[in-house]
Amino acid sequence: MTTTRRQFLTHASALSALAAMGIPDSAQPLHASQSASEPEHPGHPAATLRAAGVAHGILVGCAVKVRLLRDTPEYAALVREQAGILVEENAMKFARLRPSPTTYFFDDADYLVQFAEANKMKVRGHNFVWCRELPQWFEGYVTKANAEQVLVEHIEHVAGRYAGKIHSWDVVNEAINLEDGLPDGMRNLPWQKLLPGYLDIAYRTTRRVDPKALLVYNDYGIEGEDEGSRKKRIAVMQLLKGMQKRGVPLDGVGIQSHLSAGPKHVYGPGLQAFIAEAHQMGLKILLTEMDVNDHDLPADIPARDASVADTYARYLQTALGHSPLEAVLTWGITDRYTWLNSDQSRSDKLPERCLPFDADLQPTPAFAAMVQALRATSKS
């Protein structure tokens, strides 16, 4: 028995959000069992995030968990249907790839790259350097004397294995932390202490090993109009300009885009100016980890969904409305598996509703808001 789109789209608030935004029936998502290339009505393609991205001229996708791609068919089907670009939430982080100083674990990362290839999707690498996800053996094994060798060998092994297959590497993630009080706002992470030149070394090595991948610097907390965001944007921009001045290979900046819904959180001209400046510098701009937490909102689901969707809409209008962007990825695709629900951060302990598909894999108003924002800002 085939399920009609109408039956699939049972989420009432998603339906009304689509209608309210003037999105026609043909813009409703495909059933998870349909493939993105087989629209229900020939000549009338149903909307997916991927298709809305193609129409806009931007790659749209999401972070995934390989474990779920392997063993949860309805999740894998939704990812196949909606995403044009993937990144694994954890599988390419240092600790996951390096069970010991002399061994590598590539099963999950390999699966991701093969899944993406099989489904004609692009794939991002995330990341070589981060303050978190370092293995236990790191401390004690890595010293000032061998840090450069450890980093270079790691990048040679990993970037080398996937050379030519990666759309973009987040070579360094979150290198700025003003609170640490170091010069230029650099974060006081283990690599910084052991190898102060780690940033340049990491980018130069990645370029040498995989010349086709776009090399991205990725960071968070630079999205809002608040004072913290404003200061961090300045520090990140200085970092990017310094890299360019030193001739360090850098192709893009990743704006993580972990956002918050509610009237306190404003996204606007500061972000727009940052994007415009990066664009003028010849950098590509990617929104790499978008989600919208609803910590500050009351429990009522339709009200929460509307506010989260409104944040998606406003943010994407701001980010996409002027300079061309390379990609936008949400951090996860469904509320069922979002990292935001791993720590019950709402005071009422209710699960968050932060992504374009809810815990039943039904489209949320945020889905409609994303499709609509991509269409509204389309240059074609």
**Residue 245 Cβ, how far from ligand XIL at the closest point, in Å?**
26
Which residues contribute to the site for ligand XIL (CB under 6 A)?
Answer: 89-90, 173, 256, 289, 339
Q: Which residues contact 332 (CB under 8 A, 6 or more apart)?
A: 62, 63, 64, 89, 291, 338, 339, 354, 355
CB closer to ligand XIL, 13 vs 173: 173
**Residue 270 Cβ, how far from ligand XIL at the closest point, in Å?**
20
**Residue 160 Cβ, how far from ligand XIL at the closest point, in Å?**
22
**Residue 104 Cβ, how far from ligand XIL at the closest point, in Å?**
19
- Give the pair of three-digit tokens for residue 294: 């609803």
- Quick one: which H or E segment has residue 17? helix 12-20
CB closer to ligand XIL, 36 vs 113: 113
Q: Is 17 left (phi over 0), alpha (psi -120 to 50) or beta?
A: alpha
Residue nearest to ligand XIL (CB): 339
Q: Which residues contact 376 (CB under 8 A, 6 or more apart)?
A: 317
Place of tokens 């009080």: 181
Per the CB < 8 A criterion, the answer to whether 241 and 281 are in contact is yes
Q: Which residues contact 63 (CB under 8 A, 6 or more apart)?
A: 86, 87, 88, 89, 289, 329, 330, 331, 332
DSSP symbol at 41: S
CB closer to ligand XIL, 125 vs 363: 125
CB closer to ligand XIL, 255 vs 319: 255
**Residue 90 Cβ, how far from ligand XIL at the closest point, in Å?**
5
CB closer to ligand XIL, 106 vs 339: 339
CB closer to ligand XIL, 36 vs 92: 92
Per the CB < 8 A criterion, the answer to whether 291 and 345 are in contact is no
| Separation of alpha carbons 22 and 13, rounded Å | 14
CB closer to ligand XIL, 52 vs 172: 172
**Residue 128 Cβ, how far from ligand XIL at the closest point, in Å?**
12
Place of tokens 């791993």: 342
CB closer to ligand XIL, 46 vs 287: 287
Going by DSSP bridges, is the β-strand pair 214-219/122-129 parallel, antiparallel, or unpaired?
Answer: unpaired
DSSP symbol at 4: P
DSSP symbol at 142: B
**Residue 218 Cβ, how far from ligand XIL at the closest point, in Å?**
6
**Residue 339 Cβ, how far from ligand XIL at the closest point, in Å?**
3
| CA-to-CA dists, residue 337 to 61, 64, 107, angstroms | 16, 9, 21
